[in-house]
Chains A and B, each alone.
Chain A
Amino acid sequence: MSETLNEETLNLEALRKKDKRAFAQLVDQNSDHIYRLALRLTGNSQDAEDVVQETFIKAFNNVESFEGRSKVSTWLYRIATNEALMLLRRRKDGITPIDEGVETDEGEIMPIQIVDWCCLPEKEIMTEETRQVLQEAALQLSSANRAAFLLRDVEGLSTQEAAEALDISESALKVRLMRARLQLREALSDYFANRMAKEGL
């Protein structure tokens, strides 16, 4: 689980006054987290760099409006997620709605692949190929479900924080999270089932 920003070390008043030292600290404490989120949302390192850039420029320009009701890190995650989703939407010329996954109006995902790959040796599980499969499977999720999964499960935000970052209700967050988790489990199970059959693992 990622360690998010240590809020106590940040001086909110200094940030609101656009104190450059405080802002440099804000960037350095959060840029890796925001970059990894953006990288996994967009699937592209150049896009991820652009998202980080836009996130901190917007944060700098709008810090007076940050009321401090949520953590600073949640506020940054919210800006970054919006930036990444807007970027993805622009790329698709607005064809795919930001908030709706392709599976939203369909039935719930039913587990099909029942293979117990948990017992595989650790060195067989986390290979370079597996990392590639993880990334590709995540990019197959709708952007809305992917954002919910990344914020909650990878970045380690609470349900409330992730819902705030996405500006949705906690119950909507939980629905997206469950769909994302089940779809990813299915993709990984397909992959490991094939490997176990091919390699006799």
Chain B
Amino acid sequence: MNHHHGLECQDLLNNISAYIDGELDDELCGKIEAHIESCPNCKVVINTLKRTIQLYQEDGESETFPLDARHRLFTALDLDEDLDLSD
């Protein structure tokens, strides 16, 4: 267990999600940033955690609702598929 600037790795882990979401107060945020500077392992964990989320976001927009399924849904709801929704 590393101990840097009054904050241990476990303390960082307990707050890691809130930290990357920017939800921590300035004091704890400052302690975490000081810890990261002197703890290479925690730095890797934080960076790879952020990158993991980014990859899921990048991969998150690759599919669209298939047209044949849309057709079935519009039929089930008795909706008009040809409505011009732009006006």
Contact = CB atoms under 8 A, between A and B. Distances in A.
A23 B77 contact: yes
Interface residues of B, number: 40
Interface string A21-36: 1011101100110111
Contacts of B49: 181-182, 185
B74 A24 contact: yes
Contacts of B70: 27-28, 31
Interface in A143-189: 149, 153-156, 159, 174, 177-178, 181-182, 184-185, 188-189
Contact of B48 (A118, A138, A149): A118
Interface string A107-120: 01011001111100
B60 A117 contact: no
Contact of A24 (B13, B66, B79): B79
Contacts of A153: 53, 56-57
Contacts of A90: none
A141 B24 CA distance: 26
Contacts of B83: 20-21, 24
B17 A53 contact: no
B66 to A, nearest CB: 7
Interface residues of A, number: 52
Contacts of A181: 17, 49, 52-53
A36 B60 contact: yes
B64 to A, nearest CB: 5
A134 interface: yes
B17 to A, nearest CB: 4
Interface in B65-87: 65-66, 69-70, 72-74, 76-81, 83, 85
B45 interface: yes
B56 to A, nearest CB: 5
B47 A57 contact: no
A185 B85 contact: no
B65 A52 contact: yes
B56 A184 contact: yes
B17 A177 contact: yes
A178 B17 contact: yes
Nearest to A111: B45
Interface stretch (A67-75, A92-100, A124-132): A124-132
A118 B47 contact: yes
Interface string A62-85: 000000000000000000000000
B45 A134 contact: no
Contacts of B64: 32, 35
